[in-house]
Amino acid sequence: MIENRQTRKADVPHDNEKFPAHLNSRWLYYFAQALDAGSIRTASDRLDVEPSVISRQIRQLEQALGMTLIERHGRGVRATEAGELLLDFYRERDVAEQALFGRLAELDGLQRGHISLSISEGYSDRLMSGVMNDFCARHPQLTIELNLASDNDVVRQVYEGQAHIGVAYAPRLIPGIEAVASARQPLCAIVHPDHPLTRLPLPLSLDDILKWPLGLVGHGFGIRQLIDTVEVISKRHFHASLVSNSLATLKQYVSSGNGVTFIGGVALLHEMRRGQLVALEIDHPVFAQAEAHVIVRSQRPLSPAARQLLAEITSLWPFGERRRVEW
């Protein structure tokens, strides 16, 4: 036992303590086996160990508890009153342990578990239609938490362990965060289908775009950092007529006027299909090389369920890649 082990540094012989901090599982095991078999020798035959081992272990248990646990007759052993109490406890402990194993196995078999996803706004549709719906249907007993957040928050939540898996567009990758899948998804200029820009040849030049009122996402989005970067290196000033932390607001903004906003095209699948919005490629390397990432915390052991979901996400990643030709 731990508390009986004498350490070298502080060797205090407090054996007079009434009860040990914890019961050695082997003591209990032999104790229960001996009582179950009716005699130490029978138990020793069953377990294929020497009778002396069992005898000694039981004695240690008795000494640790400071009370006699079994009656030693000439023909076997029987439990004393204290022994019965201990035996009942052991039995209960055993079934609890088996129940634990069952739960652990369920966790292994994806019949139990909790997965927390943190997703950049605009990816939820694609993720849901591409993977999540199917995955949830196949594992109805899993608890899946889907959290929409800004790109920076996605990274933060994954980093702090609040989310197991994150999907972010152009996030600032920091040490400790690992991108298990990436896909280049250019940042596009989003406009109404009737917008004059749609009549210009692609890719659009920055100058053409900047003639129109601009709607920008707020800071905290990976997109915004890309925009700021381009603003600096292109030596131009991006005047934002509207700044919002909601992509939906920006979509609304451009769909009801002739404004322009910068959003990854992948986030607009629905609107583009319905002909409500169009995504126009921009002639700038930074915009063109923007990437979306599926991220996890480095060296964080994921639960089996999270591992499985991650595998499915990456296998289908990027979700709309093949449809990209339609844009």
Partner DNA sequence: TAACGCGTTGCTGAAAAAGCAACATTCGAA
Partner DNA sequence: TTCGAATGTTGCTTTTTCAGCAACGCGTTA
Nearer residue to DNA within complex by CB, 39 or 120: 39
Among 15, 17, 50, 228, binds DNA (CB under 7 A): 50
- Of 67-75, 86-94, 258-266, 280-288, the segment contacting DNA by CB under 7 A is 67-75
Question: How many residues of this chain bind a second copy (CB under 8 A)?
Answer: 48
- Of 39-47, 95-103, 137-145, 238-246, the segment contacting DNA by CB under 7 A is 39-47
Contact between 97 and a second copy by CB under 8 A: the answer reads yes
Contact between 26 and a second copy by CB under 8 A: the answer reads yes
Dist. CA 62–CA 51, nearest whole Å: 17
Range 307-312, long-range pairs (CB < 8 A, 24+ positions): 308/110, 308/135, 309/115, 309/117, 309/131, 309/135, 309/144, 309/165, 310/164, 310/165, 310/180, 312/131, 312/134, 312/135
Contact between 14 and DNA by CB under 7 A: the answer reads no
Nearer residue to DNA within complex by CB, 37 or 189: 37
What contacts 53, CB < 8 A, 6 or more positions away? 30, 44
Q: What type of residue is 105? A: A
DSSP for 274-309 reads TTS-EEE-BS-HHHHT-EEEEEEETTPPPPHHHHHH
Neighbours of 145 (CB within 10 A): 12
Contact between 73 and DNA by CB under 7 A: the answer reads yes
Among 32, 33, 39, 117, binds DNA (CB under 7 A): 39
Contact between 32 and DNA by CB under 7 A: the answer reads no
Residue ranges in contact with DNA by CB under 7 A: 2, 4-9, 24, 26-27, 34, 39-42, 48-53, 55-60, 72-77, 175-176, 298-299
